[in-house]
Amino acid sequence: MSVAVLGAGAFGTALAVALAARGPVVLWGRRIDWQGENPHLPGVTLPAGITVTDRIADALSAGAAGSGASVLLVAIPAQALSGFLDANRAVLDRRALVSCAKGIDLASGRSPAGMLGAACPGATVAVLTGPSFAADIARGLPTALTLACADAAAGQRLQHALATPALRLYRTTDVTGAELGGALKNVIAIAAGAAIGAGLGDSARAAIVTRGFAEMARFAAARGADPDTLAGLSGLGDLILTATSAQSRNFRFGVALGQGAPFDPAITVEGAATARAVAGLAARGGIEMPISALVAGLAEGAIDVKQAMDQLLARPLKEE
């Protein structure tokens, strides 16, 4: 299968670097004003097997004998995906589209795979998610991810097409669970970062991560996901990584909130928008999500960390 990556941010570029070991890859971005090294992924020189372009037609036509890319990895941030699909849905339909974004669209309440499926009903939609940092993937460090596709046979083909010696893919048909794990862990990572930034300690972080995971599982189950999926790479695995490492943008954003410090607005923090989307969906569905609701308030500036912790600690005592 020939592969193109749509989205030249850090993660899309890292995937292109990893997959270039298998064969030629086309990397598309809206603005390509760099050569050899993507400023979003410093220190990584692109291998010769990657063709970089800002022309979507070039990315879509890449492939053996000009037959077109058979797999498109869509690494476009969740909040920017709707606009991208509005402009390109006709040329994306009837292809294999693998979503590599994590989040929930604020306007529609849909996941990235849900948006891809709605915009391109003839496409085979899959999700690539799990505990990973772009720099690790680009450096060829061992990484395990979840590949979710409702079509089991198509998922198996994609698994073999996208796995590399350093990038191990585990397959599932639970697209909902895999996506929600990847989206919701960013929300909890912000809360964990806020606890550390405010000087509340590692014990407080552990409590937030544990109770946050319970929220993730509760929300996912209410949306029809298999609870076992949340206990895997795309849920618990990704949560552990994101809530404990300063490489995580969501964790660093939380630390800044806890310290009352500014955070670079140019850095994409998907968990902030996801918290707002999830809080609304949970309220309408009667799903108890206290940590997610408080993260939404923190991200909007409606409350501070002390108020958030006071509200959590004042909740009624209950069984675990």
Phi and psi of 169, rounded to 5°? -110, 130
* Mean pLDDT value across residues 239-265: 96
**Which whole-number Å values give the CA distances from 263 to 129, 202, 251, 293, in the listed order?**
26, 22, 12, 21
Q: Is 90 exceeded by the pLDDT of residue 313? A: no
In the chain, the domains with their CATH numbers are 3-173 (3.40.50.720), 176-313 (1.10.1040.10)
- Select the more confidently predicted residue: 77 or 318: 77
E strands, 66-195, are: 71-74, 96-99, 124-129, 143-149, 167-172
Structure tokens at 206: 């552990």
Among the listed residues 102, 185, 306, 318, the single catalytic one is: 185
pLDDT-based confidence at residue 32 (cuts at 50, 70, 90): confident
- Decide if pLDDT at 157 tops 90: yes
Q: Residue range 303-315: average pLDDT?
A: 89
* 100-114, 140-154, 298-312: segment of lowest average pLDDT: 298-312
Tell me, what's the pLDDT at 65?
41
Question: Which of 4-8, 240-244, 285-289, 313-317 is predicted with the least confidence, judged by mean pLDDT?
Answer: 313-317
What pLDDT was estimated at residue 141? 97
Angle between helices 270-285 and 202-222 (to 10 degrees): 50
Q: Is 156 helix (H, G, I), strand (E, B) or coil?
A: helix
User: pLDDT tens digits, residue range 62-110?
Assistant: 654 445 568 999 999 999 999 999 999 999 999 999 999 999 999 999 9
The residue type found at 300 is E
What does the alpha-carbon distance between residue 188 and residue 31 come to, in Å, rounded to a whole number? 32
What's the rounded Cα separation, in Å, for the pair 97 and 175? 13
Sort 304 into a burial class: Cβ within 10 Å, 0-12 / 13-18 / 19+: middle
Percent of the chain beyond pLDDT 70? 98
Q: Please provide the DSSP assignment of 173-220 as one string.
A: S-HHHHHHHHHHHHHHHHHHHHHHHTT--HHHHHHHHHHHHHHHHHHH
What lies within 8 Å, CB to CB, of 218 at 6+ separation is 287, 288, 289
Q: How many CA atoms lie within 13 A of 174 on its CB side?
A: 22
The mean pLDDT value for 179-195 works out to 97
User: For residue 238, what are the contacts with CB-CB under 8 A and spacing of at least 6?
Assistant: 129, 130, 131, 132, 181, 182, 185
Whole-number pLDDT of residue 60: 86
Is residue 22 helix, strand or coil? coil
Of 46-55, 67-76, 128-137, the range with the lowest mean pLDDT is: 67-76
Strand order in the sheet with 71-74: 50-53, 25-28, 3-6, 71-74, 96-99, 124-129, 143-149, 167-172
Is the predicted pLDDT of residue 21 greater than 80, yes or no? Answer: yes
Residue 185 binned pLDDT confidence (cut-offs 50, 70, 90): very high
3-state helix, strand, coil in the chain (%, to 5): 50, 15, 35
Across residues 233-240, what is the average pLDDT?
Answer: 98
**Residue 136 pLDDT exceeds 70:** yes
The pLDDT score that the predictor gives to residue 68 is 58
Told to judge if 185 belongs to the known catalytic residues of this protein, a careful annotator would answer: yes
> Is the Cβ–Cβ distance between 182 and 166 less than 8 Å?
no
Query: What pLDDT is stored for residue 35 in this prediction?
Result: 80
The predicted structure's pLDDT at residue 314: 86
Mean pLDDT (whole number) for 16-25 = 94
Tokens standing for 47?
């291998």
Does pLDDT of 222 surpass 70? yes
What does the pLDDT read at residue 70?
85
Q: Residue 109 CA to chain centroid, in angstroms?
A: 15
- pLDDT (tens digit per residue) in 163-172: 999 999 999 9
Question: How far apart are alpha carbons 82 and 245 in whole angstroms?
Answer: 30
pLDDT at 66: 44
